[in-house]
Structure 1
Amino acid sequence: MTYLQFLAIFVLPPLIAVVAVTRYTLRQPDRLRRPYHVGLPVLALLVLVAWVWTAPWDSWIIRTGVWTYPEGRVVATLARVPFEEYLFMAGQTCLVGLWTLWQSSRVDGPVPAVDYGARHRVAWAIAWSAVAGAGALVTVTNSRGLYLGSMLVWFGPLLAVQCAVGADLLRTRRAIRLGTLLPVVGYLWVADRIAIAAGIWHISPEYTVGITILGLPVEEAVFFAVTSLLVVNGLVLATHPATPARLRAIAPKKIVRQ
């Protein structure tokens, strides 16, 4: 099986399904369509961010031999990253994002914004920053932690920023976030496990901690959980009614000349 065939079998069908659900929802009353008004443009931006942010790290782990693919399994590469990998990034982002928006449309009325205080946001921002710092330490001190550590360094700060902006707002959307992450990430784990078993790509045991979940390296499980969480959080914050006021509150104040 080639990488392109894998995408056609495991990514395209669920993507077609969520697009169909989206088209159906957009024909429903405005209450159900409301999350899509802001969410769809933000989702398009998140696809671009996924490419711009993830590709350099992907290129680096390929160059270091953490993640490799056999000859003949990919169509072409750009900066060592397979063309199909860019399609996978976009497909995962859209799959997670459209499912998040559909979950948001199911909410019966607005979820009240509960302000748990700035300390709640700061605590979560510090926690994710600490995770990134631990990842940096693991990366430079243990070669077997290279995959996991570098991943936490690369994506941890983004989660820290999201929490600094609205960890309390994210908390009010726990059901939406879990309702997206559990089924979609679980599906991606199964698909990834099949791809590894089929030899489409290979994860080096030299740069991984050696822990597996039903044959899936824990690093791969963390990757799909973290990257999907970034998409979910981004869309939840973008569509939350309290976010505009929050952004105005934390934005630098203009200096008014007398």
Structure 2
Amino acid sequence: MDLDLLADCGRCSGLCCVAPAFARSADFALDKPAETPCPNLRVSVPGRPDAPCGIHGSLSERGFPGCVAYDCFGAGQRVTADWREGPGAARAAFDAFAVLRPLHEILWYLTEPLDDAPEDLRAEVARAASWVSGLTEGPLAGVDVASVRAEVGEVLGRVSAAVRGSSGPGHARADLVGRDLGSGRASRRALAGTTLRGALLMGADLRGVDLGRADLLGADLRGADLRGAALGQTLFLTGPQVAAARGDATTGLPDRVPRPSGWG
């Protein structure tokens, strides 16, 4: 499978600035209906590759940190229909993006290096990746994304348990909002190898915490302090999670997860 899962905004018509709805909140400074261009989008003419954001260099300062943390995982550049070419093209573009974006995110998890996983599980993950990749190539209208996500999630759950050496509940879906999880040498190691799937870690203090082999699939890291934290060996970490958190040059990240520009 040769599939680019990194966004290339220069090859997209700004779908992430048009297709989703924004709700005025700490993440977005305004309400925006779905399938409506953000007022900050400089809409270019059809046939040109660019549809630049007018405040791209100051999104967080202007009240749009949710945009900074958004990632289409390369789905945007695969949508061939151009929403600027009329209602029919717009409908095709929005429908395709609504399916491709979550499928690309699922593929991000399925293509993670898993050298520590048992061979049979690695083979199962490879088969799942081939299946999901095939879905992105075929008719998208009949794809049940929720079912795909559930089936793949079950596989990744078994991979996580095997790699971590534990299938216990850990901190899955735990409410850890604002918690100080980095005080003391013992606590800094307490989360290594645990599951934090779907955990709420908004604003949590994770400075210096060892998250080696922790499962972070779906964990909410908005505003979490990751300065000095070791995330280089975490499982299922994504760029959007990292972009929504706070870190610095001492924060360890997996090689394939882009380091936010402001982290040094």
TM-score, normalised via structure 1 length: 0.25
TM-score, normalised via structure 2 length: 0.25
Greater relative CO, 1 or 2 (CA 8 Å, sep 6+): 1
More helix by share: 1
More strand by share: 1
